[in-house]
Amino acid sequence: MLNAVGRDIPNELDGRKLKPFKGAFSFKPKKRLYAPPMKAVFPGEEKLISLKEAVKKFVDDGMTISFHHHLRNGDAVVNMVVNEIAKQDIKDIKLAPTALFPVHEGLKEHIKNGVVTAIEGSLNGPLGEFASYGNIPHTVVLRSHGGRARAVRAGELHVDVAFLAASMADDYGNANGMFGKSAFGAMGFAFADSMHADRVVIVTDNLQPYPIAPISISQTFVDNVVVVDSIGDPSGIQTGTMRITRSPARLNIAKNVVKFLAKAGLLKDGFSFQAGAGGTSLAVTKFLHDYMKAKGIVGDFVMGGITGYVVDMLEQGTTKRILDGQDFDLRAVESIGRNPNHVEVSHIDFGDPHTGGCIVNRQTACFLGATEFDLNFNVNVNTHSDGLLLHGIGGHQDAAAGSFVTIIVAPLLRGRIPVIRKEVTTVSTPGETVDVIVTDRGIAINPRREDLIEAVKGKMEIVEIEELYKKAKSLVGEPKEPNFSDEIIGIIEYRDGTILDVVRRLK
């Protein structure tokens, strides 16, 4: 099946019938939400049990278990739980994490031993490379943050048991991530799993008297509570991509994004945006704040992975509110615990397209990165030009679909590798939802956005995307194509559940 971005999609894969992507806004839901089994806890019944007991009670061969990744590369819960599953000789487990990181590299042994045979979730780093060579028995499925929430709520990603880390909880299962030695901030990823998993286990290293406050995850969804020594190290939240760029060229890209928004007439009271996580996107946030402060502009809200740069905007009055589904540094974690205008939201609220309306629909702008982009404005964030699957989708698709203007920030070259291609290696976000590409060698606007082209005409230099391609080609030539086999090792879902692309095994 040839889909709307020209990718050949199989009719069926791993026993699943696939629906090809037909356009960003073409697929309407027709079924109802998935409802988990009803629970009944009577007066006097205790919820506190050990991890060993929780695994024995709930986990069996062939089940799907889920986790959130708010502790990112500092997470200890995934490894802890899967190690216990292995000790109990349970096999054929499907992992459904919101994301996995280098800290989870030990899962390779569990995959080799048949404890884990499938993963539906973002793979960052070593596990993605491991999957690239066909080492995971079943096809990996990658979804956006909003798309994953949708899939869980629809029952397409059916979770048997959710193990949800909490930095504070009481013995009845009320939980949050805002306080305690392992505080990580918002629990946005955990909401869908807590409401729709068959069984929910809170894992905490900070048990407090009932009732705790505030309550992010309610006791009414929770089957049991497990207390451990540590759920992880919050210092692992801020990974290398969470630091502002020092590159003069990339700082100039960030300044040009702000210039573009100003020249297009979009930087005014009420402005809202999604904060990005890469080094260039962090610079955009800082320069936006500086510009808005100098001009006396007050925005309505900032959404996204929240950092100290966004906290500065709230505290210094350039935005009224932060809508927070995930924190990316410890200043953001500290802020959400004390500032009532720093509001926790779920990833259902953020980007699930099959709701009464998600937050991305109200964003003026978003600033997103890319490993590659192409002449049709399609963007790749999953694989590199060598074909290695090293990243998840994150909120990329969701923000691009909802925001009034979607801006991709990327250098034209990384070393001797062009970021612009005739066709991207993998389509992660379709070009129809991408409006502007800002590089160190020029700015291109999607021809679909005649309004933006008209708005900045005569105010700043704009180039055709073909010019950027020719410039890259003249500097480094055509890149070597990855050496793929025919075997499909991964599926890239669009946020509505249709299939945008597939990832093939590297030889």
* Structural domains in the chain (count): 2
Same domain, residue pair 164 and 203:
yes
Calculate helix-pair angle for 279-295, 308-315, nearest 10 degrees: 10
Mean pLDDT of 297-303: 98
Same domain, residue pair 98 and 77:
yes
Same domain, residue pair 297 and 339:
yes
Contacts of 397 (CB under 8 A, 6+ apart): 144, 146, 147, 351, 428, 429, 433, 494, 495
Q: Is residue 165 part of a domain?
A: yes
Same domain, residue pair 178 and 102:
yes
**pLDDT tens-digit series, residues 341-399:** 999 999 999 999 999 999 999 999 999 999 999 999 999 999 999 999 999 999 999 99
Among candidate residues 189, 221, 236, the one where a domain is terminated:
236
Same domain, residue pair 171 and 318:
no
Q: How confident is the model at residue 276 (pLDDT cuts 50, 70, 90)?
A: confident
User: The whole model's pTM is what?
Assistant: 0.96
Tokens 């048990």 appear where? 207
Q: Is residue 426 part of a domain?
A: yes
Same domain, residue pair 281 and 183:
no
What CATH number should be reported for the domain holding residue 72?
3.40.1080.10
Residue ranges making up the domain that contains 83: 53-120+157-236
Same domain, residue pair 396 and 471:
yes
The radius of gyration of the chain from alpha carbons, rounded to an integer in Å, stands at 22
Asked if residue 289 has pLDDT above 90, the reply is yes
Q: Is residue 12 part of a domain?
A: no
* pLDDT more than 90, % of the chain: 94
* pLDDT more than 70, % of the chain: 99
DSSP-assigned states of every residue in 179-232 = SSTT-----TTHHHHHHHSSEEEEEES-B-SSSPSS-SB-GGG-SEEEE-S-SB
pLDDT for the residue numbered 241: 56
Same domain, residue pair 232 and 257:
no
Same domain, residue pair 283 and 313:
yes
pLDDT for the residue numbered 240: 56
The mean predicted confidence, pLDDT, of the chain is 96
Q: Is residue 25 part of a domain?
A: no
Same domain, residue pair 73 and 114:
yes
Backbone angles phi, psi at 117, to 5 degrees: -120, -5
Same domain, residue pair 309 and 288:
yes
Q: Is residue 131 part of a domain?
A: no
Q: Regarding beta strands 16-17 and 199-204, do their DSSP bridges make them parallel or antiparallel, or are they unpaired? A: unpaired
Q: Is residue 361 part of a domain?
A: yes
Asked if residue 447 has pLDDT above 60, the reply is yes
Q: Quick one: DSSP state of residue 133?
A: T
